[in-house]
Amino acid sequence: MSKIQAIRGMNDILPTQTPVWQYIEAVVRDTLRAYGFDEIRMPIVEQTDLFKRSIGEVTDIVEKEMYTFEDRNGDSLTLRPEGTAGCVRAAEEHGLLYNQTQKLWYAGPMFRHERPQKGRYRQFHQIGVECFGMPGPDIDAELIIMTARLWKRLGLTSHLELQINTLGSSADRKRYKADLVAYLQERFDSLDEDSRRRLQTNPLRVLDSKDPGTQAVLEGAPSLLDYLDEESRNHFERLLALLDGAGVSYRVNPRLVRGLDYYGKTVFEWVTTSLGAQGTVCAGGRYDGLVEQLGGKPTPGVGFAMGMERLVLLLETLQLIPATANNNADVYIVAVGGEQVEAYGLRVAEQLRDELPDLRIQMHCGGGSFKSQIKKADRSGAVVAVILGETEAEQTNASVKPLREQGDQVSVALAELSPTLRKMMQA
Ligand code: ATP
Ligand code: MG
């Protein structure tokens, strides 16, 4: 019979890879905690309309990337392509936005039917952050400063560039779009096919085109920065000043736009040149209109999401994964003999887990000869093997053997076992 395989673009994360994921997740979680963010967990499936109304009907995500299906009741449901919409929905539904501010984060899988390639998958994982109720550039700055600290903790500072832009108010964008469309219409023949289509549906997205012909046309295009009203300009200038003050460097990229319609004012991306075309590891911005658009009271919002797969790839490519991110055991318990030794082994293992709760104690299960068990102990990465046989079980003691350096096997009383192991671990 043929074997069933995973769905294209949806990856298994294997035991050899999970230590790296856990390492990044722990650093991110600690950083978010240190900045006063609270975790929220939303469902993976939402009503399709939630995404249509927030991300926008004529975006790539809604037009062609969503996993949408009818459930057994005939309702149209969608696997979430991103986290912001669901987070707004949940916060609003539970009254978290009423007369208060929120600093929230979430982590989990997102789903987009894109063409799978390096750094681009159909199920991928994001850690996202959303802030509500804060209209000023201070929180925009704090989000960016926090991500800068995160890169520092991960050793990525010199490998990532912050690109930043403002999309202004919706009135600014409307005036700008009219002029941009007029400019591009006159040069229609030099545009790539995608951009020609977007000119009609979502002209700002043309700015994002990677096509060399279109890029050449864009060189002379009007810039959104010249269309900002006073409030948007002040917000942007103040944000840049706050980043200067914090020592966070950036590049203003007037062509930076996002693929989701809800953004206004601040947008930013952290980009690396070390991952080829999929260089954006973290992206976000301000979405002051979104809560109202989804039926709530007008509430300012700002957030970002980072792509876990791209962070993992980047750390691997740059060999920045600390040696501690592994599955190694600390102590491996070898138990050779009959049922009595087996029982004794399990008892000793539990005692060690009581006394040394921070250590990874691997009990050998599944039997086998002394030689094969010692081989497994060696492969487990353990620093020490605790060896138990009939003699040890009878005398209630244990033999201890260093695995990573020279040294004799010694016999110790059970009461001395954990202090001895502790000493050997520290050496
Ligand atoms: P891109 O321009 O690379 O398609 P995007 O603008 O669609 O990204 P966002 O929706 O802003 O991305 O998502 C934030 C982050 O999530 C991205 O910067 C990226 O790191 C990650 N990401 C987005 N789509 C994918 C995907 N299909 N596979 C892996 N990671 C992804
Ligand atoms: Mg995309």
Q: Report the nearest atom of ligand 1 relative to the CA of 208.
A: 2
Q: Where are the alpha helices (DSSP H) in 285-338?
A: 290-293, 308-317
Angle between helices 170-186 and 193-201 (to 10 degrees): 140
292 alpha carbon – ligand 1 mean position (Å): 25
76-106 pLDDT, tens per residue? Answer: 999 999 999 999 999 999 999 999 999 999 9
CB neighbour list of residue 323: distance below 8 Å, 6 or more residues apart: none
Better pLDDT: 418 or 202 = 418
| Minimum CA distance residue for ligand 1 atom 28 | 120
Task: Calculate the alpha carbon distances from 394 to 12, 203, 346, 399, 411 in Å.
Answer: 46, 81, 15, 13, 13
| Minimum CA distance residue for ligand 1 atom 21 | 307
What integer pLDDT is reported at residue 260 of this predicted model?
79
C-beta 126 within 6 A of ligand 1: yes
158 alpha carbon – ligand 2 mean position (Å): 25
C-beta 304 within 6 A of ligand 1: no
**Distance from C-alpha of 203 to C-alpha of 187, rounded to nearest angstrom:** 14
CA 210 to chain centre: 25
Q: Where are the alpha helices (DSSP H) in 277-410?
A: 290-293, 308-317, 339-355, 370-379, 390-395
* For the CA of 305, the nearest ligand: 1
Q: Is the domain covering 18-168+228-317 a CATH 3.30.930.10 domain? A: yes
**Distance from C-alpha of 361 to C-alpha of 386, rounded to nearest angstrom:** 10
Q: Report the nearest atom of ligand 1 relative to the CA of 121.
A: 28
308 alpha carbon – ligand 2 mean position (Å): 14
C-beta 270 within 6 A of ligand 1: no
**Distance from C-alpha of 218 to C-alpha of 255, rounded to nearest angstrom:** 9
33-82 pLDDT, tens per residue? Answer: 999 999 999 999 999 999 999 998 888 899 899 999 999 999 999 999 99
* For the CA of 121, the nearest ligand: 1
193-227 pLDDT, tens per residue? Answer: 999 998 988 899 899 898 999 999 999 999 999 99
Question: Could you tell me which CATH number the domain at 331-426 has?
Answer: 3.40.50.800
293-342 pLDDT, tens per residue? Answer: 999 999 999 999 999 999 999 999 999 999 999 999 999 999 999 999 99
259 alpha carbon – ligand 1 mean position (Å): 9
**Distance from C-alpha of 342 to C-alpha of 345, rounded to nearest angstrom:** 5
Nearest to 424 by CA among 348, 330, 309: 330
C-beta 302 within 6 A of ligand 1: no
C-beta 112 within 6 A of ligand 1: yes
C-beta 281 within 6 A of ligand 1: yes
What integer pLDDT is reported at residue 29 of this predicted model?
98
347-375 pLDDT, tens per residue? Answer: 999 999 999 999 999 999 999 999 999 99
The DSSP call for residue 381 is T
Residue 259 has pLDDT above 80, yes or no: no
What integer pLDDT is reported at residue 51 of this predicted model?
96
What integer pLDDT is reported at residue 333 of this predicted model?
98
* For the CA of 260, the nearest ligand: 1
C-beta 309 within 6 A of ligand 1: yes
Residue 159 has pLDDT above 90, yes or no: yes
Question: What share of the chain in percent tops pLDDT 90?
Answer: 92
Mean pLDDT of the chain: 96
Residue 209: count of CB within 10 angstroms of its CB: 18
126 alpha carbon – ligand 1 mean position (Å): 9
What integer pLDDT is reported at residue 58 of this predicted model?
82
What integer pLDDT is reported at residue 37 of this predicted model?
98
- Token pair, residue 339, equals 């049922």
Residue 237: which pLDDT band, with cuts at 50, 70 and 90?
very high
- State whether residue 241 is helix, strand or coil: helix
The dihedral built from the CA positions of residue 41, 45, 48 and 52, taken in this order, carries a sign that is: positive
With tokens 């919409």, the residue in question is 85
Q: Report the nearest atom of ligand 1 relative to the CA of 259.
A: 6
Write down the pTM of the prediction: 0.94
Domain residue limits, the chain: 18-168+228-317, 331-426
